[in-house]
Amino acid sequence: MRKVIFSLLVIIAGFVAGKASAQTTGTKIGYFDSEQMANLMPEMKTVQTKIQAFQRDSLGTQKDQLDTLFNNAQNTYKNDSLAKKSASILGYDRQKLQELYSQEIQWSQYQQQATQNKYYELAGPTFQKVHDALEKAAKENHVTTVVKIDALEWIDDKQVINMFIPVAKILGVTLPNQNTTSPNASTPAAGK
């Protein structure tokens, strides 16, 4: 019986010591949204301009070429049908028309994917800057974990650190409203 009580006391003492140790070292949690911060940076205006030019100049030209090929294939099929060409020629024309029709249908998905890839290519350096600044701010503020604001629910605002302000200082970005530091507000300074 003594051994059981002694064992329980040792276990309880271990829990108490572990809890006290955890409270003194503490885990600091910060909240942040990289995309919001990146969108506040001046470089993103250039990215948006380049994306629009890409959509207009590159993708627009490709779409025009596809439309022309489709219309030509449609006209060829109609003309060959009226001229009563052989079944093999009409079969070839029909197959070509179906391939182009399929490309036309899949165009919006292709355009969306190409635009997204171009965005990541152009915005990548900006997001890397934001990531590096966040890493630096987290080290300076002794923050061990950073999450998006909507990933957390807490009762005491003092338990969680707003990382927007220190990251903005490192990047030299002015936040829309730096007076607000509550995680319940809707500005980037507030973490939303």
Query: What pLDDT does residue 10 have?
Result: 41
Query: What pLDDT does residue 167 have?
Result: 93
Query: What pLDDT does residue 53 have?
Result: 93
Query: What pLDDT does residue 155 have?
Result: 65
Taking the chain (192 residues) in runs of 10, the rounded mean pLDDT of each run is 46 49 64 92 93 90 90 87 85 89 88 93 94 94 87 71 90 74 46 41
Name the pTM for this structure: 0.62
Which residues, other chains included, contact 73 with Cβ-Cβ below 8 Å and sequence gap of 6+?
Answer: 93, 96, 97, 100
Query: What pLDDT does residue 123 have?
Result: 94
